[in-house]
Amino acid sequence: MTEDGYPDALPRGYHLHWYLLERVLGQGGFGITYLARDTNLDQRVAIKEYLPIDVATRRNDATVRARTEAHDERYRWGLERFIREARTLARFDHPNVVRVLSVFEFNNTAYMVMRFEEGSNLATILEQRGTLPEGELLRILLPILDGLELVHNAGFIHRDIKPDNIHVRADGSPVLLDFGSARQPVGHSPSLTILVAPGYAPFEQYYSSGESQGPWSDIYGLGATCYRAICGTPPMDAIARSKGVLGSARDVLAPATAVGAGRYSPRLLKAIDHALEFTERDRPQSIAEWRRELLGEGQQAALAPAAPSAAAARSERPAPASGGGWPVFRTVLAAAVALVVVAVLLRFYPFSGGGKSGPPPETAPDPAAQLKERLAKVEQQLAEERQRQAEALAQQQAEERQRVEAERKRAFEAEAARKREAEQKKLAEERQRKLAQQAEAERKRQAEQKKHAEERQRKLAQQAEAERKRAEQQARQQAVQSAKPAAAPPSSAALLEKADRDYTAGNYAEALAALKPLAARGNANAQLRLGKSYAEGHGVAHDDARAAIWYRKAALQGNPEAQLQLGELYASGRGVPHSDFEAYVWLTAAVRGGNAAAKALQGRVAKLLQPVEAEQAGKLVTNLPLPDAAK
């Protein structure tokens, strides 16, 4: 529905009772498997939803329905099977078979809740490593055999054995997954969906009938998985093989004995080839049989770990001839046959004591006694032989157990050492990371402190500067205030007024004495009057150049009278170089400042300029300040 790549899947975050769906793990012909969280127990689980895509489909309300009415019966039948099989599989509590925790109906379909196994998929491991060494392969294979045997004994076959369905946990133990395809092989509907994993499915699985399928079918899958693990590629597909086989041509599958020669033991390679026999009757018929081939008769009892529940499950069905006692069994059988033969002979032979024939000759030794004696000897020899073989077997088994135990111990220790080393490395890295983090934090803290210190310093400096300015201001104010009552100097206007009076009265020295300081301090009116003093030669020597200097100072402050006077000087060339342009500038400024007397002269000078020069001069005037009155 919303999951990318799985249009039929339920969306992420969907609630199935107390299971919260997290993502899709995969989809097959029979349904979709999700990774979910059991919110009650707060643990991850895998949930398989029954959704046979060839007969059913998902509706918008998340329910699953048969595609058509014609499909409904088949869908219902499959649903019932799914639930029943889930319940059956839930009975298996084997460390190497995925644990079914629950099954329930919802959304018009059913859901099988399984334990979620962390670790790596065997297919992924093989993809990464290409092949596996014999020891490692057997460490994965043998526990799987044990789990699968439990399933077979319960009357099920997996039907989809392949590397993708074998999971290897972090501790190296394998677990068989995905029993979604598991079926009871005998006596059920012929409408089973054909399940084939090319290369891993035997030829009989290409038939729709399940009658010819059995443990040998799973053994083919296991053999193919082993074949993939020793030569790097799966065996060719059974259909392709059938062309060679049915055409009376040579089977084109390269045998494991050829592919793995020199790298794997002949026993293992032969067992793989046997499992991969094209015709089902030519293969091992049970897991036990194949295990014996894999391990040799003496080893399998020691190597195959017997899980209690598996043994219990096996006990529900008659167990196949089990393992390592085959030579003893044969010996005992031979002895029993011999005894029967002897008994028959005793029963029917004339020398039998119970016979109908005449009495034996008196001088002849008693044949019955001789026979009994021989029989006793035979029995004794047989007993001795049995004892010897049992002892040898026990010793062999003990040695094998020790070897396996030692090997397991070594592997365990190596694994523990590896884990310890990894843990130490991780701890060291963690320590290093923490140190780096601490160093970084310290660096940041120091930088922050430095920044704060600088900020503080800056603020202090600002405060000090503000304080200094305030103090200066206060000092100035105090100075002004303290000076005021003492000196109480007349204002500039008053001084100017007095200077004007003195000037008019011809008291030029006093007038200039008042004007000069005022002009020097930038008083435009005082500058104008001082300029006039120089221009008119009153109180000072006539000096147009000096007059122009004071006029310019006042004119630049926007004094229109000074601007007019300066303009006249430029127009006439007195005290300054003759410049109609600059004359026009000052006269225009004077006119702009409201000096009407400047107007006539400005007009005359304008005629001497180019229009563009007048325009250029006008722009200069706009940059001059306006007189206070004109503002």
Partner 1 sequence: MASAMPGSCVVYRCAQLCAMMLVALASGCVSEQQKISATRDVNAVFRTEYERVLAEDGTHIYHVPRDEAFQALRVALGGLGMRLAEQSPDLGYLSVYASAPDPLTRDEWLRAAQADLPKFRGILEQHLGLAAWFVSFEPQGLDVVINATTIQVRGGTAVSLTMRMREVAPPKSGYPRREYAPPTAVRMGLRKIWGALERELPAASGRRS
Nearer to partner 1 (CB atom), residue 253 or residue 624: 624
Binding residues vs partner 1 (CB under 8 A): 556, 576-577, 579, 581-582, 585, 610-613, 616-617, 619-620, 622-624
Nearer to partner 1 (CB atom), residue 257 or residue 616: 616
What is the Cα–Cα distance from 352 to 360, expressed in whole angstroms? 10
Nearer to partner 1 (CB atom), residue 458 or residue 578: 578
**CB-based burial label for 116 (10 Å; 0-12, 13-18, 19+):** buried
CB of 570 to partner 1, least distance (A): 9
CB 567 within 8 A of CB 606: no
What is the Cα–Cα distance from 170 to 120, expressed in whole angstroms? 8
What is the Cα–Cα distance from 605 to 477, expressed in whole angstroms? 50
CB of 516 to partner 1, least distance (A): 21
CB of 517 to partner 1, least distance (A): 22
β-strand pairing of 166-168 with 120-121:
antiparallel
The token pair at 45 is 């689980």
Nearer to partner 1 (CB atom), residue 318 or residue 611: 611
Nearer to partner 1 (CB atom), residue 280 or residue 568: 568
Nearer to partner 1 (CB atom), residue 372 or residue 546: 546
Nearer to partner 1 (CB atom), residue 9 or residue 564: 564
SS (H, E, C) 150-191: HHHHCCCECCCCCHHHEEECCCCCEEECCHHHCECCCCCCCC
CB of 585 to partner 1, least distance (A): 7
Q: How many CB atoms lie within 10 A of CB 120?
A: 12
CB of 435 to partner 1, least distance (A): 51
Would you say the C-alpha torsion 165, 166, 171, 173 has a positive or negative sign?
positive
CB 554 within 8 A of CB 531: yes
CB of 620 to partner 1, least distance (A): 5
What is the Cα–Cα distance from 254 to 239, expressed in whole angstroms? 15
CB of 441 to partner 1, least distance (A): 46
β-strand pairing of 166-168 with 15-16:
unpaired
Q: What contacts 421, CB < 8 A, 6 or more positions away?
A: none
CB of 543 to partner 1, least distance (A): 19
Nearer to partner 1 (CB atom), residue 349 or residue 581: 581
Q: Which residues pair with 183 in a beta bridge?
A: 157
Nearer to partner 1 (CB atom), residue 19 or residue 586: 586
CB of 581 to partner 1, least distance (A): 5
Instruction: Tell me the residue length of the chain.
Output: 631
Would you say the C-alpha torsion 189, 195, 201, 207 has a positive or negative sign?
positive
CB of 611 to partner 1, least distance (A): 7
Residue 104 parent element (H or E):
strand 100-106
Nearer to partner 1 (CB atom), residue 224 or residue 585: 585
Q: What contacts 563, CB < 8 A, 6 or more positions away?
A: 551, 555, 586, 587, 589, 590, 593, 595, 598
Over the Cα atoms of the chain, what is R_g? 58
